[in-house]
Structure 1
């Protein structure tokens, strides 16, 4: 118990080596931003981010896995100067050695209720993908679908700490590769069985995919990111705990799904959606960015 408490304390007061590495990570990210801007990422809704940094970002995973976490965290820090603390699955968040230090320097912590509560008590900005790894491997027709079945922990911990939730959506990552088969096809079912045999988890399947043409070369895609309006998690009088948890979860999921539909509509009309250099000047931009 003492060691567990010490590890929990270290997510706030990180070791000196991690603090030094954090400075290097942030300097590198800032140095790379001009190059990132050349791809003109579509970033909208930053005016919805509470400037005190006291909020919980909740959004969708795509095939890129870490790409959306990285862009979301960087966009928040550039908008309001706040460090984002991604909540990760236990295997990734507890990696030993240099890789674990890099993840910690990027703000990552194991996504337990205890760790989330500690961060909220310190008024930090948190980020979570309730679908976890289940949203990374998508079969044909599952692009940008949320897989939050049974995942309400984010709502429960936000309510317990009176923390507002900022829903966000990320589009582009599920277009880098395209699944070849639907989940219920023969190949799809075989892939699921193979995934279960390898990982022991039926929802962690990696389907057969293609990139450019029939190859595995990734298809260039523009990134689209939108932050929605904060969701108040203050529990009303007369509403049971379980009922309010489910209400907050459903409200958040609906908000993310609406954002994803809006971004896909924007992407469909964007001549720069596949990073065609000839269409760079015609890239669709958020209304607030139009001078």
Structure 2
């Protein structure tokens, strides 16, 4: 069983292969670690060779453990998994398979940290429990993973499966009451997760549902049940091909390598091997779902869908739904919208080009999805600083690739200031160590943040953690705000909702933090207000920065007026009844900020101005000389002293803006056309010159 690499845990039906013990939790069944061998003998004993017991890290601080456990350098060492591994390990797992449904923990997940939450994977119609095989190693960095295995010949009803998972959930919640329990369910497993959540509203559950089968009543699989009932046993050999025609996924996954960014020879060299292996894959599929088992599972899907739908009103858990656009088994796209309206705490992420078996498709990374949605937490409430896991180099590259065109169009010029006051090209003047606070001007719609974050990572390997509006993190109660998936990259690179607590924690964690005191008032300014600062009167950030001895770096950025012009602003929109009603409705449903302020910087109505695009110019950034607060903690506790420094920072930002506005007049490549000509003659990867310093 080395190929399967799993340690089985009896999460239910214990009398079948172990003692039925009562725990101090009040009659809940306890779990036993057992080993699995090729003969499929399940015993309560020490794991056999090749199956190791879960270890723990040496005693150290939580921050050190997290840093060590999530070391990005480990990612390159991870073994690459493919669809082939799913079928190969499935063959081992279902061979001579007997007994009741049970949990197993894949060895490749590694040893979890003490702080890792539990993740229970609930399989789809196949029941094998290997649906996350492509994600085991990455998920093992974040979770303690148990996978549910339902043997081929098992005929446990859906309600009994619900009770099995429920016993495990209650037992583990009793053991670790302050940790969430994640239920990841695909298809049938999605119904199972919803049913358990509905029956346990007081337990902290986080659900990730991939194409849940709650829409089974509309599935083409309904028409397959009469056919299976009438099919003679001698025609069983054709069943895998019937399934492949319905799903289309085995063939699609087999040619996935042809879609990867691999050398041409390698790309098509591997393809024939995958196609040759396709019949054997279908053979394994037949062994997983023989006619009688498939018919049983389809009937279970029907009852599971009805069971889950009748209890949606009782579900209180936090939910993330992943839906595929090319799901031939279920109407997943329409269903995810229905569920999102029916469930109070729900987010959706859509995969337009994916099929039903989402987790087995190349290019779908569940860990990156969880990070982007800010769905990972290790306690009852999400901590945007302590629970944050930085992106790996490959994650950052993949996330940034679709927006790098914006860098090419704006061709940003970045200047920094050394300790002696000299202005230099590049980011040499930026301190490597934190805490460092960047305080600057927010351009129209905040478009300056894209080149800013990319350049800091590319040139200095510094992750800028921005403080952003809460609307980028949570769907409004009515769901009328824009799709939050467009902001996943912002959350992935470490942005946090604006709050005094989050700012304090960022400074205490020695982060490089990006702050815009002008906030939304600057980002959606009126006509003719470009490069004007709209800062509050209070010195909101100075005292906290001084408390941790942070360096404050004022900066300015210009170029929005070379990119677009506001032609319809807030004042114009409020004169039109239709837009005024929309603005008031959306603003009413969002978090109120700066409620104690008044005037220009008070809580702003949410709106999008009308912008007339221009022939793109260029973006220019200037980071001023770092302002030290080290050793000034006591001094800056005084309100007057803190306000003086606050006004000094504001003045420096205005000076940076004035410098850039003047100097860009001497840039021969300010317009996009001269830049394109320069790159055409010098190479499109060459740096375009700018004005003389």
TM-score by shorter chain over 0.5? yes
CA distance in 2, matches of 1:32, 1:245: 39
TM-score when scaled to structure 1?
A: 0.76
Residue from 207, 210, 226 that aligns with 2:622: 226
CA distance in 1, matches of 2:502, 2:565: 36
CA distance in 2, matches of 1:141, 1:100: 28
Q: 1:251 to 1:26 in 2, by over 3 A?
A: farther
Where do 5+ consecutive residues of structure 1 fail to align? 212-216
Contact 2:445 2:524 (C-alpha < 8 Å) held by counterparts? no
CA distance in 2, matches of 1:272, 1:202: 39
Contact 2:568 2:611 (C-alpha < 8 Å) held by counterparts? no
Contact 1:53 1:124 (C-alpha < 8 Å) held by counterparts? yes
Instruction: Please name the residue that 2:455 is paired with.
Output: 75
Instruction: Please name the residue that 2:653 is paired with.
Output: 256
Q: Which moved more, 1:246-255 or 1:262-271?
A: 262-271
Q: Which moved more, 1:243-252 or 1:28-37?
A: 28-37
SS in 1 for 2:445: coil
Instruction: Please name the residue that 2:407 is paired with.
Output: 36
Q: Which moved more, 1:152-161 or 1:128-137?
A: 152-161
Deviations 1:50-69 (A, max 9, x none): 1224301111111132x222
Shift of 1:168: 1.2
Instruction: Please name the residue that 1:63 is paired with.
Output: 444
Instruction: Please name the residue that 2:430 is paired with.
Output: 49
Alignment pair present for 1:12 and 2:386? yes
Shift of 1:241: 2.2
Deviations 1:29-51 (A, max 9, x none): 37976983575321111222112
RMSD: 3.8
CA distance in 2, matches of 1:110, 1:168: 21
Deviations 1:87-106 (A, max 9, x none): 11222244597566543212
Contact 1:152 1:249 (C-alpha < 8 Å) held by counterparts? yes
SS in 1 for 2:672: coil
Residue from 172, 178, 197 that aligns with 2:565: 178
Residue from 260, 267, 275 that aligns with 2:664: 267
CA distance in 1, matches of 2:449, 2:625: 19
- Number of equivalences: 276
Where do 5+ consecutive residues of structure 2 fail to align? 1-177, 180-376, 417-426, 477-483, 589-601, 680-687
SS in 1 for 2:444: coil
Higher relative contact order (CA 8 A, sep 6+): 1
Residue from 280, 285, 291 that aligns with 2:690: 285
Instruction: Please name the residue that 1:164 is paired with.
Output: 551
Q: 1:64 to 1:9 in 2, by over 3 A?
A: closer
Residue from 87, 99, 108 that aligns with 2:467: 87
Say which one has the larger Rg. Answer: 2
Contact 1:55 1:125 (C-alpha < 8 Å) held by counterparts? yes
CA distance in 2, matches of 1:5, 1:28: 24
Instruction: Please name the residue that 1:214 is paired with.
Output: none
Shift of 1:12: 3.3
CA distance in 2, matches of 1:240, 1:12: 27
SS in 2 for 1:168: strand
SS in 1 for 2:455: helix
Q: Which moved more, 1:165-174 or 1:123-132?
A: 165-174
Contact 2:569 2:609 (C-alpha < 8 Å) held by counterparts? no
Deviations 1:170-227 (A, max 9, x none): 11124422234899xx858847x9486453677447586452xxxxx45412111111
CA distance in 1, matches of 2:378, 2:553: 29
TM-score when scaled to structure 2?
A: 0.35
SS in 2 for 1:153: coil
Q: 1:64 to 1:273 in 2, by over 3 A?
A: farther
Shift of 1:163: 0.9
Deviations 1:13-41 (A, max 9, x none): 436xx756x74234443797698357532
Q: Which moved more, 1:47-56 or 1:271-280?
A: 271-280
Q: 1:280 to 1:263 in 2, by over 3 A?
A: farther
Runs of 4+ in structure 1 over 6 Å off: 2-5
CA distance in 2, matches of 1:277, 1:71: 20
